[in-house]
Amino acid sequence: MLHSTPTQDTIVESSDERPIRSLFKEYETTFIILHPFLVAKQGCDIKFERPYPNKKEIINCASKISWQQILHETGLEDIKQVDRLLGYLHCARRTADKTDWQKLMQVVDTNDYGVPQVDWFPEIIINDLFASIKSLGYSEVKIVSLMNTKEQIVIIDDILKSDEQLPIVSTITTLDNKILIATKFDEAFSYISSTKKIIDKLIKDCDLEGFFCNADTKRGWSYIEQIKDIIDWNSKERYPKNAQQ
């Protein structure tokens, strides 16, 4: 599902003030993939908590929940609100709007949703994405992780057969450098850069949700300054399940 490119404040929260497109300027365009929420399939006993399920378990036992569905169920207005709340959840932001937070956590807790992963590319999308890339004629990709800067050449079929997640905070590039996928710390979304034609195919094949970056989109695209009705990490509202016990 395609969202409109969010309108962004001139001041952003991220310390990296460069537009996203400047990081991937050798590519025609960049698409932000919103990592999906998850819900257990009927009859499956799967918990989205540590120790986290592996890729096979997630693919077999979980379904995707889009940010658009979360907006519908919570009454939140836009994906910027969702991203800010996820940043607060994962301790990437110190504060959150109290009312918005309560709306989101009510829906997540009531439905036992798994929240979008950060730092890693989501397992539930991996096989669809690499099957689509393989259909373009590719058999291998280059992977570089921030935790292990040595470049690895990996066979796509090995990725498809593996139950393991992709390396943390990594870039994955086709050998001809025409497609690049990147994940970064503390973000519930990933970046894919290529031609518009290729990205359109990947969106369609994999039912990806997100938006295209414009020339001004920065990593802190969801940021707004909040000064009223906010909670921080010490607020009792941060842990609604505990508050009910």
Write down the pLDDT at residue 241: 61
CA dist., res. 60 & res. 46, Å (int):
10
What the block records as the tokens of 181 is 């996928």
Here the tokens at position 28 are 């025609």
The pLDDT value recorded for residue 9 is 72
Q: Which long-range contacts (CB under 8 A, 24 or more apart) does 15-18 make?
A: 16/218, 16/219, 17/218, 18/218
Q: What's the rounded Cα separation, in Å, for the pair 123 and 125? A: 5
User: Mean pLDDT by 10-residue block, N- to C-terminus, for the chain (245 residues)?
Assistant: 87 69 96 98 90 93 98 97 95 92 96 94 96 98 89 96 93 97 95 98 98 93 85 84 43
Give the integer Cα–Cα distance in Å for 91 and 229. Answer: 18
The residue among 140, 130, 114, 129 whose CA lies nearest residue 57 is 114
Would you state the pLDDT for residue 14?
A: 54
Q: What is the pLDDT of residue 240?
A: 64
- HSE toward the beta carbon, residue 49, CA cutoff 13 A: 5
Q: In whole angstroms, give the CA distance from residue 56 to residue 68.
A: 25
- Find residue 157's DSSP bridge partners: none
The C-alpha angle 210, 218, 82, rounded to 5 degrees, equals: 45
Q: DSSP assignment, residue 13? A: S
Going from N- to C-terminal start, the domains of the chain cover: 24-218
Maximal C-alpha separation, the chain: 55
